[in-house]
């Protein structure tokens, strides 16, 4: 993993531990042409991260490396939501 993804992973794990919740939502919203920001939610709270460029490919790397697992794709009900995926932190104590 590169430095950016490693930083994201540690911030994500820290925030999950803080909330004592190990499942999170990764949402991509449509805010206009070529502007589709991503958000990560735990218990309906949007989390903040140092890096602002996390992609689906980054999550796939975390899955491949055994840090997280994909749970399910959620059908969006809000027209602004393009994709919603649920993930779980693996091997947390």
What residue spans define the domains of the chain?
3-89
pLDDT at 79: 82
pLDDT score for 35: 61
Considering only the top CATH level, what class is 3-89?
A: alpha beta
Q: Give the pLDDT score at 73.
A: 96
Q: What is the mean pLDDT of each run of 10 residues along the chain (93 residues)?
A: 93 94 90 73 90 87 97 90 92 71
Judge contact between 86 and 71, C-beta under 8 A.
yes
Contact of 26 with 38, CB cutoff 8 Å: yes
pLDDT of residue 93: 58
Q: What does the alpha-carbon distance between residue 51 and residue 58 come to, in Å, rounded to a whole number? A: 12
């Amino acid at each position: 993993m590169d430095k950016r993804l490693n930083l994201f992973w540690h911030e994500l794990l820290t925030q999950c531990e803080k909330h004592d919740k190990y499942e999170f939502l990764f949402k991509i919203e449509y805010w206009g042409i070529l502007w589709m920001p991503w958000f990560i939610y735990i218990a309906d709270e949007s989390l903040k991260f140092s890096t602002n460029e996390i992609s689906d490919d980054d999550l796939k790397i975390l899955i491949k490396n055994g840090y997280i697992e994909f749970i399910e794709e959620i059908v969006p009900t809000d027209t602004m939501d393009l994709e919603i995926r649920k993930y779980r932190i693996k091997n947390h104590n």
